[in-house]
Homo-oligomer: A and B are copies of this chain.
Amino acid sequence: MHHSELVTVLKERREALGITQAHLAELSDVSLRTLKALEVGKGNPTLETIAKLIEVLGMELKLEIKAPQHDKQ
């Protein structure tokens, strides 16, 4: 999962939960300015910023050994 893909997933999850950027920003203690920039693919968020957001979004990061090409779907 690359940067743009991660951004898309975060945004879609927020929308699926039906919460605004402002609300997510407040719940996650990430500034609204930072969240807005992040969702349009600006910048290079820190692990902490991502962690705060996904915690509120009920998500989790996993780090795995990449599957060989022929195993991909």
Which A residues contact B (CB, under 8 angstroms)?
Answer: 1-3, 6, 9-10, 13, 44-48, 50-51, 54, 58-66
Contact = CB atoms under 8 A, between A and B. Distances in A.
Nearest to A58: B66
A27 to B, nearest CB: 15
A59 B63 contact: yes
A3 B63 contact: no
30 contacts: A1-B60, A1-B62, A1-B63, A2-B51, A3-B51, A6-B47, A6-B61, A6-B63, A9-B63, A10-B63, A13-B65, A44-B46, A44-B48, A45-B46, A45-B47, A46-B46, A47-B47, A54-B63, A58-B65, A59-B63, A59-B64, A59-B65, A59-B66, A60-B63, A60-B64, A60-B66, A61-B61, A61-B62, A62-B62, A62-B63
